[in-house]
């Protein structure tokens, strides 16, 4: 059970290749570039063009494309908001002069422009599959921007060493605190303009590392029918907000009406918000967090805030200080007991699974309003979660690149 059905065709061949059979969860009807043309870019310029145009296509990456210096460099003010040591993250100053609050650490630095804003991201058009060959293909120094489009699959690629974001789905105004000068990666769903709707997106079997802030962001307009599955979020970093080598802030799901499946991912060596959901009154996010392996988390894993409706089941938390933030404003049903399982199973009409908390903190979130809200969502009801005890072995065997071909 890999979710996105495994590729049997060797990607090195010239024969037409489709990325997957069909995703599961909220993105289950996503087909990406299936039925369109197939291309294998050899230059960064070709990749930019293939991704951004309106042609239905599967784009096969056979190597690492380095965009670090694609947009040149800027010399400007940087500062250290964190006073810990060693190796706190540096931050690039923003238009609101964030660094003035840390005047004693202000200095001048030169940094790549790639990844410092959505203007310097790889824009992805509708009906695209971006598919990596083997285990080492991908993009470096820049993130992907999926903005107001539909039917996109990102699969089996490495996304590394970016200041801003790796996968950005629906980004509008969350840059008020400036951008980090080191290690910011994101996949972003961009919704900077009013009522941009991003629909049908599958993010599967990718490896993301060296991040300054969120790995994945949905922004503030709707990101619907999204599945984030079988990814390896590697939080080990030289620079971090806590100076402990743990990356802070895995994902932000904050759209006006997000529907997201977050399943079978490996969240490793992070410090918080993996994911953070909600935060805006009047918005809602329906999120199913299931069968993920959270390992060695020095802070918290899940943070459900205002407007979010989150079902957490069948996950394995190992050495997680705080599996879910207490006293949060969101609606969360975090299954920890047989009675929780029974209530969920009765409401959903299928077997639910308890989470396992191994050498981890306790959780007491069991808001049954989550179940009554999500019982009408076939993406949640039709998913059959594995027992949490099986999750570590499954995730370690399947998450990340090089596992599907």
Catalytic residue positions, numbered = 273
Terminal alpha carbon distance of the chain: 15
Beta bridge partners of 232: 207, 266
241: which residues sit within 8 A by CB, 6+ positions away? 82, 88, 89, 248, 271
Could you tell me the CA-to-CA distances from 239 to 247, 293, 298, 355 in Å, in that order? 8, 23, 15, 31
Q: Which pair of structure tokens corresponds to residue 12?
A: 């090195």
Q: Which pair of structure tokens corresponds to residue 203?
A: 């993010």
The closest of 299, 181, 321, 179 to 250, measured between CA atoms, is 299
Alpha-carbon distance of 200 to 308, in angstroms, equals 20
- Give the 3-state DSSP-derived string for the chain, with helices as H, strands as E and coil as C: CCCCCCCCCCCCCCCCCCCCCCCCHHHCCCCCCCCCEEECCCCHHHHHHHHHCCCCEEEEECCEEECCCCCCEEEEEEECCCCCCCCECCEECCCCCHHHHHHHHCEEEEEECCCCCHHHCEEECCCEEEEECCCCCEEECCCEEECCCEEEEEECCEEECCECCCEEECCCCCCCCCEECCCECCEEECCCCCCCCEEEEEEECCEEECCCCCCEECCCCCEEEEEEECCEEECECCCECCCCCEEECCEEECCCEEEEEEECCEEECEEECCCEECCCCCCEEEEEEECCEEEEEEEEEEEECCCEEEEEECCEEEEEEEEECCCCCCEEEECCCHHHHHHHHHHHCCCCCCCEEECCCCCCCECCHHHHHHCCCHHHHCCCCCCHHHHHHHHHHHCCCCCCC
């Amino acid at each position: 059970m890999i979710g996105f059905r495994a590729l049997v065709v060797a990607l090195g061949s010239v024969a037409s290749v489709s990325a997957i059979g069909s995703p599961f969860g909220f993105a289950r009807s996503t087909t990406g570039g299936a039925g369109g043309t197939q291309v294998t870019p050899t230059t960064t310029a070709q990749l930019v063009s293939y991704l951004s145009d309106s042609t239905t296509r599967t784009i096969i990456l056979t190597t690492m494309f380095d965009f670090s210096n694609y947009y040149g460099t800027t010399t400007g003010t940087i500062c250290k908001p964190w006073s810990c040591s060693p190796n706190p993250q540096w931050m690039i100053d923003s238009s609101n002069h964030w660094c003035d609050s840390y005047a004693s650490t202000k200095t001048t630095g030169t940094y790549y422009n790639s990844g410092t804003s959505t203007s310097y991201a790889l824009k992805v058009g509708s009906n695209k599959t971006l598919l990596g060959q083997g285990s080492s293909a991908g993009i470096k120094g820049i993130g992907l921007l999926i903005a107001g489009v539909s039917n996109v699959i990102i699969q089996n690629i490495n996304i590394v060493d970016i200041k801003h974001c790796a996968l950005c789905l629906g980004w509008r105004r969350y840059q008020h605190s400036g951008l980090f000068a080191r290690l910011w990666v994101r996949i972003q769903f961009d919704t900077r303009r009013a009522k941009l709707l991003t629909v049908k997106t599958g993010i599967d079997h990718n490896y993301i590392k060296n991040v300054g802030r969120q790995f994945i962001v949905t922004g503030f307009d709707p990101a619907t029918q999204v599945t984030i599955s079988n990814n390896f979020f590697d939080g080990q970093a030289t620079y971090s907000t806590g100076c402990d080598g743990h990356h802070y802030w895995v994902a932000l799901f904050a759209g006006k009406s997000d529907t997201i499946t977050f399943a079978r991912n490996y969240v490793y060596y992070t410090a918080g918000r993996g994911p953070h959901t909600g935060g805006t009154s009047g918005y809602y996010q329906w999120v199913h967090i299931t069968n993920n392996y959270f390992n060695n988390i020095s802070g918290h894993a899940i943070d459900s805030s205002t407007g979010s409706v989150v079902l957490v089941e069948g996950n394995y938390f190992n050495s997680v200080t705080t599996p879910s933030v207490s006293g949060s404003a969101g609606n969360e049903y975090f299954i920890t007991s047989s009675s929780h399982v029974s209530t969920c199973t009765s409401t959903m009409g299928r077997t639910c699974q308890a989470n396992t908390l191994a050498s981890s903190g306790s959780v007491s979130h069991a808001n049954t309003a989550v179940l009554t809200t999500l019982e009408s969502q076939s993406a949640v009801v039709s998913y059959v979660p594995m027992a949490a005890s099986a999750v570590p072995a499954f995730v370690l065997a399947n998450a990340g690149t090089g596992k599907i071909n």
